[in-house]
Amino acid sequence: MGGGAVIRVLLGHRGALLRGALATVFATEDDLEVVAVIDHGDDVLPASVRGQPDVMVLDVHLPGAVGIDVLARRSAAGGVLVLSDRDLSAGASLRLVRQAPRVGLIATDASPGELVGAIRQIARGEPVLDPELMLAAIRVRDNPLTDRECEVLKLVTTGATAQEVARKLCLSAGTVRNYLSRILTKTHARTRIEAIRKAEQAGWI
């Protein structure tokens, strides 16, 4: 944000101590204004509507419904900086990296100065990607599933039956079962649960 503009920040973190410490750090910066502090993922979208932040700084383990899809939707209106520990799975890293530059990824062991600098970068629309996490992401194998197969598998993750998936996608139940059979073959899985686990870990869905 150039010209001395103030960057409005929403902070979401599961830990009360770190949440308070980060809010204090941000408040000492002349160009940062903390407009909301939350401790649960379900509050992300409501708080962002109220506070209209330029950048959301979110703990990757924030409890509640704050998945990659939510971040992608929110990042259309403003930047998101995800605080991640270094044991984040390669698949999760890949899904975050794909949202760059509006979704950034920084390690939780970054210094306060690095974190503040990253917020400014995100606000300017510049990418912020932790090198180690990015390296893990780019090592993920190419997705063998088609877009439709991914769509079917995502619906299965919600607990939907083949019949429910068919209704949702305007397909026949037999067609959905064929998709599921191909998904099991491509993921080398014996069950749908195993296919979901493998696909999520690999960042395919």
pLDDT at position 41 is: 82
For 150, list phi and psi in degrees, rounded to 5.
-65, -40
- pLDDT confidence tier of residue 85, bands split at 50, 70 and 90: confident
- Full residue range of the structural domain in which residue 168 is found: 147-202
Is residue 53's pLDDT more than 50?
yes
Cα–Cα nearest to 137, from 201, 84, 85, 90: 90
Q: What is the 3-state secondary structure (H, E, C) of the chain?
A: CCCCCCEEEEEECCCHHHHHHHHHHHHCCCCEEEEEEECCHHHHHHHHHHHCCCEEEEECCCCCCCCHHHHHHHHCCCEEEEEECCCCCHHHHHHHHCCCCCEEEEECCCCHHHHHHHHHHHHCCCCCECHHHHHHHHCCCCCCCCHHHHHHHHHHHCCCCHHHHHHHHCCCHHHHHHHHHHHHHHHCCCCHHHHHHHHHHHCCC
Task: Tell whether 52 and 152 lie within a shared domain.
Answer: no
Average pLDDT over residues 137-146: 71
Task: Tell whether 134 and 191 lie within a shared domain.
Answer: no
pTM here is 0.63
Residue 25, domain member (yes or no): yes
CA 38, CA 59: separation in Å to the nearest integer? 10
Is residue 174's pLDDT more than 50?
yes
Residue 101, preceding peptide bond in cis (omega within 30° of 0): yes
- pLDDT confidence tier of residue 2, bands split at 50, 70 and 90: very low
- pLDDT tens per residue across span 4-29: 689 999 999 989 999 999 999 999 99
CATH number for the domain spanning 172: value is: 1.10.10.10
Is residue 119's pLDDT more than 90?
yes
pLDDT at position 4 is: 65
Residue 163, domain member (yes or no): yes
Residue 157, domain member (yes or no): yes
Is residue 1's pLDDT more than 50?
no
Task: Tell whether 128 and 31 lie within a shared domain.
Answer: yes
